[in-house]
Chain A
Amino acid sequence: MSVHPDVARVIGYVVGTIAFVALNASFLVWLERKVAGHIQRRIGPKEVGPFGIFQSLADGIKLMSKQLIVPEGADGLLFRLAPLLVMIPAVMVYVVIPFGPALVARDINMGILVIFAFASINVLGLLLGGWGSNNKYAVISATRAVSQNVAYEIPMLLTVVTLVMITHTMSLNQIVAQQPTIKDWYLFPWNGSIMLPIGFLIFFICSMAETNRAPFDLGEAESELVAGFHTEYAGMGFGLFFLGEYSNVFVGCALASIMFLGGWQCPFGLYPGVHWMLIKTYFLVFVVMWVRWTYPRTTLYGLLNLSWKVLIPFALLNLLVTAALLKVF
């Protein structure tokens, strides 16, 4: 019996992506705790397995064995739907991410658009989860998450539009193919627009804010909101929010490394492949964690001021300057 190659591809993608998302999340939880520990001059997890690497596996087993409790007065349907709405788009975006020259589920020529379309559903999941919980903290947190996502989507998309004007394509694999060595990275100002480094910075800050990471984690401000939108979730309901968050962090960093750092291409033109993609992405993930454990949480006004008064004007300037440069040269 032979399997149709398209069917095999779908099965391979689904199994591979879900396995990757789960492993990535458990690795990132471990890495986050290690980074946090060493920044605070501690060791972090170290008892379960060598260097505590199996700690998140143990945590995962614990989460899976716990009961899913739907609180009284909660909207049962929305409450159960919300973790799925966070998790499914987080898995879907992996369809277009090129891990290697041929290691991509579907090389759609609108790849960037697909990613942002699915990534926007994430915030709907947070909103429904917060609303469905029948918990005041969860509702406050959900509204915060939404206003934050709306505010940061704009500069992020403006930056992406600017980059697409330079690359002339929305296919992620082709964007990577345009950056074979380190001097062709779209991070550098000589590759189309002098504003590119600022564009990278704006994109990176926005992707941090979009994934609700500290210092922009107002949605989960423990000191005020208990645990934010997932206050009422126990067991794997909470686990799915967590998986989704870490998966989104990875996707944000993967996107940054694809668009600005050459994705799976080797900086020196040697042995391009999936390892370069992972090195670059995990380096950016490390920077995200480093930032998280360095800065305190911003206030809501500080957060919105940063977006509307700094990032959006600069993103617009970036767009104008790039358009003018492309027109002139």
Chain B
Amino acid sequence: MSGYFRDLLDGTKSLAVGLGITFKYMVGPVITLQYPHQTLPMQPRFRGHIDLVRDPETGTDRCIVCGMCQKTCPSGCITVAGDKVEGVKKKALTLYTLDFTKCSLCGLCVEVCPADAITFSKDYNLAGRSREAYVFDLKKRLEERKG
């Protein structure tokens, strides 16, 4: 019989403690991030789709159009094209497309690139209405990033 009242008392006390804890949380600050309105900076190791790196000296891409990335890509989602341009010693990049619908983000292209011309972007807010929206023209993206 004494156990009955002890259980009752202890139970009631622990219930009151529980209510106290939730009340403290309720009046305390909100710790969640209001995502579409606020975002966190992405970690440096985050692997988004690839992007061309801008050379700070020339202000353009560092690609030498060797085609290593295109060859090494297991999914065949990279297309590179280059052409000789007057006054420039190396081949200049004219087209760099990434078919992100097939990309598996393995990163072999970034690893193999001899000129360190590509890197992972920090882009994670991807949404589109068509398949074509995910075929990225990376050269155009690089030029748009300038502004």
Q: Show the binding face of A for B, using Cβ within 8 Å.
A: 35, 38-43, 46, 290-291, 293-295, 310
B19: Cβ under 8 A from any A Cβ: yes
B88: Cβ under 8 A from any A Cβ: no
B23: Cβ under 8 A from any A Cβ: yes
Tell me if A295 and B32 are in contact (CB < 8 A). Answer: no
B8: Cβ under 8 A from any A Cβ: yes
B127: Cβ under 8 A from any A Cβ: no
What total of chain B residues lie within 8 Å of the partner, measured CB to CB?
16
B28: Cβ under 8 A from any A Cβ: yes
Q: Show the binding face of B for A, using Cβ within 8 Å.
A: 8, 15, 18-19, 21-23, 25-32, 34
Residues of A close to B22: CB separation below 8 A: 39, 290, 293-294
CA distance A294 to B34 in the complex (A): 24
Tell me if A295 and B15 are in contact (CB < 8 A). Answer: yes
Closest residue of A by beta carbon distance from B28: A41
Closest residue of A by beta carbon distance from B12: A201
Interface SS of chain B: helix, strand, loop or mixed? helix
Residues of A close to B23: CB separation below 8 A: 290
Closest Cβ–Cβ distance, residue B90 to chain A (whole Å): 52
Tell me if A294 and B31 are in contact (CB < 8 A). Answer: no
Tell me if B30 and A38 are in contact (CB < 8 A). Answer: yes
Contact of B26 among A38, A46, A291, A310 (CB under 8 A): A38
Residues of A close to B25: CB separation below 8 A: 38-41
Query: Known: A291-B19, A294-B18, A295-B18. Contact between A42 and B26, CB under 8 A?
Result: no
- List 7 extra interface pairs beyond A38-B25, A42-B32, CB under 8 A: A35-B26, A39-B25, A40-B25, A41-B25, A41-B31, A43-B30, A294-B19
